[in-house]
Amino acid sequence: MLMMPDVVYRAFESVKTNAAKVIYMTPQGNKLNQKKVEDLSKEEHLIILCGHYEGIDQRVIDKIVDEEISIGDYVLTGGEIPAMVLIDSVSRYIKGVLNNESIKEESFSNGLLEYPQYTRPEIFEGEKVPEVLLSGNHQNIKKWREEKSLEITKNKRPDLLKNKLN
């Protein structure tokens, strides 16, 4: 099943503005990453185009799409879920959605994965919250978080460290 060009084009015409950037969610697009998310959050108006099953008539894509984006190397039945991923990731960087401090120490914000998080109770199933986090020493806590972030990235996503060094 392919979406007909006139239907998609009329929908686009009804919402377009001069500032609109049109993104087509497709496995053929560039893979979404944190830098792209942050760049898109600065755009004034995004229009996200989603195909379903076989997609959208190529003539419409050629005429209106500014950028094609993929959320990974796999295929879904439609672009709606990738669009939700894009919306959720981009909206976090829109002023007022989250506290600015909340996005500064997250995974990928500095090229690394985030450090482990803990809450109450202090002991759960025999496992304790690391002592340094209970110490109140903010300098030591910061150092621990940096070390853990690096360790986790090295163990789980060493490719990120290679990218950080390049």
CA distance 58 to 2: 10
Q: What is the DSSP string of 101-117?
A: GGGTSSTTTTSSPPPP-
Radius of gyration of the chain (CA): 21
Tell me the CA distances in angstroms from 118 to 130, 133, 136, 155, 163, one per residue in order.
9, 9, 14, 20, 29
Give the H or E element holding residue 76: none
Domain 5-91: give its CATH superfamily: SPOUT methyltransferase, trefoil knot domain (3.40.1280.10)
CATH of 105-165 among 2.60.120.10, 1.10.1270.20, 3.30.420.40, 1.10.540.10? 1.10.1270.20
Q: What's the whole-model pTM score?
A: 0.85
Beta strand residue intervals within 32-152, DSSP E = 45-50, 67-70, 123-124, 127-128
Residue 130 DSSP SS3: coil
What mean pLDDT comes out for the span 20-24?
98
Residue-wise pLDDT tens digits, 47-62:
999 998 889 999 999 9
Beta strand residue intervals within the chain, DSSP E = 20-31, 45-50, 67-70, 123-124, 127-128
What mean pLDDT comes out for the span 70-98?
94
Six-digit token pair at 125? 């199933």
- Residue 166 has what pLDDT? 61
- On the question of pLDDT at 66 being above 70, the answer is yes
| Domain edges within the chain | 5-91, 105-165
Residue-wise pLDDT tens digits, 118-149:
999 999 999 999 999 999 999 999 999 999 99
